[in-house]
Structure 1
Amino acid sequence: MNEAMNEAMNEELASIEATAVAYLTAFNRADVAHVLATYADDGVLMGPGLRASVGKDDLARIYPDVFQAVGFNMHYEIKEVVQISPDWAFVRSSTEGSETNKATGVVMHSAYNELFLLRKSATGAWQIARYCTSRISP
C-alpha cells in the first residue's frame, strides 16, 4: 500500500473512532443534544435490560430519562476500530467508573462493554447506526 493510501486509511479510522469518542464523552456529561448528534436518523440503542430504542425520536425520549435517573463518572478505553467497507465500520470499547442513583444517592462501581456499528452518511460523516452496551457483572 502506498503512503497516500495509508494516510487516507488512518484518517478514516481516526474519524470513525472520533464518533465513538464523541458519544462516550457526551454520555458522561449527560449531554443529550451531543449524544443524539452522533446517531444516524435511524440509529438504534440496545441498552442493558431495555427494549431497543429505534430512531432519533425514540432516542430523544430515552436519554433524558436515563440522565435524570443516573449520574455517570466513567472512563472509556477504545479497544478496536475496524472499517469493514467504504460505508460501514465498528468500534469496540469498554467503560468503567461509577454510577450514582439520583433518587437515592447510592454510588456503585460499574463496568460495560460496548459495540458501535457506524455508517457513513451522505455528507461523509460517520454516525452510529447501532449501539449495544452490556453491563459486566461485578
Structure 2
Amino acid sequence: MSHKTPTILIAGAALALSTPALAGQSDETRAAITGLLDTYETALNAQDTDTIIRLYAEDGVFMPQHSSAQVGTAALQAAYLGVFEAITLNVDFAIDEIVSLSDQWAFARTHSLGTVTINATGESAPEGNNELFLFHRDADGAWKIARYIFSTTNPPRS
C-alpha cells in the first residue's frame, strides 16, 4: 500500500459523505433553472420583452447568431425589441442538461424547435436552435441569465 492510498481513501470518504448535500443543492438549482427557462420560453413566444429582461442579470449578455454581443439591460432590451419587430417565434425548449458549477454559477444546454414567422412577409419556416445559458445567482438568491448564446440547427435558407 502506497502512502497516497490513505489520502485517496479519506478524500473519497469525504466526497461520499458530502454527496447528499450536493444532491439537494443540485435539485434546488435544477428546479429554479428549469422554472426560469420555462418562463423564458413563455415570454419569448409572447414577445414579452419586460419579462425577458427581468430574467437577465444587470450585466447579462445576449449573443445571437450573426450579431454582436448585447451587454447590459439597455442593450438587451433594444436587442429583444428588434428581434420581436422582425420575427415572431413559436418554439418549445427542451433541457439537455443543467450543471451546477458552484453555489453561484450554473449552466444549461438546451435545444428548441418550432416555427418562426417573418413579420414583414408573413412567411413561416421551421425554427431550431442549440442554446447555452450561463446562470448566476444574485445577492437575493435568485438565478439570473448571465450569458446566453444560440446557433441554428436548420440548414441555410436558399
- Report the TM-score range of the alignment, normalised by the length of the smaller protein: over 0.9
Q: What residue number does 1:68 align with?
A: 85
Change (3 A) 1:97 1:113: same
SS of corresponding position for 1:51: coil
8 Å Cα contact 1:89/1:117 also seen in 2 = yes
User: 1:122 aligns to what?
Assistant: 139
SS in structure 2 of the partner of residue 123 of structure 1 = coil
RMSD, matched Cα: 1.6
Normalising by structure 2, what TM-score?
A: 0.82
Q: Determine which of 73, 94, 99 is the counterpart of 1:56.
A: 73
Q: Is there any run of 5+ residues in structure 1 with no aligned partner, and where?
A: none
Q: Deviations over 1:89-137 (max 9, x none)?
A: 0011100111000101111111000000000000000000000011113
Partner of 2:108: 91
1:4 positional shift: 6.5
Q: Which of these two proteins has the greater Rg computed from alpha carbons?
A: 2
Count of matched residue positions in the alignment of Structure 1 and Structure 2: 138
SS at match of 2:30: helix
CA distance in 2, matches of 1:91, 1:63: 21
Q: TM-score, normalised by structure 1?
A: 0.93
Residue 81 (str. 1) matches residue 98 (str. 2) = yes
Please state whether the residue corresponding to 2:73 is helix, strand or coil: helix
CA distance in 2, matches of 1:53, 1:91: 20
Which contiguous aligned blocks of 4+ residues in structure 1 show a shift greater than 2 angstroms?
1-9
Q: Which amino acid aligns with 1:107?
A: S
The structure whose RCO (Cα within 8 Å, separation 6+) is larger is: 1
Aligned to 2:42: 25
Question: Per residue, is there more helix in 1 or in 2?
Answer: 2
Aligned residue for 1:41, secondary structure, equals: strand
Query: What is the rounded CA distance, in whole Å, between the counterparts of 1:118 and 1:130 in structure 2?
Result: 7
Q: Tell me, what secondary structure is at the counterpart of 1:128?
A: strand
Listed as ranges, the gaps of 5+ residues in structure 2 are: 1-16
Q: CA deviation at 1:68?
A: 1.3
Counterpart Cα distance in 2 of 1:80 and 1:24 = 16
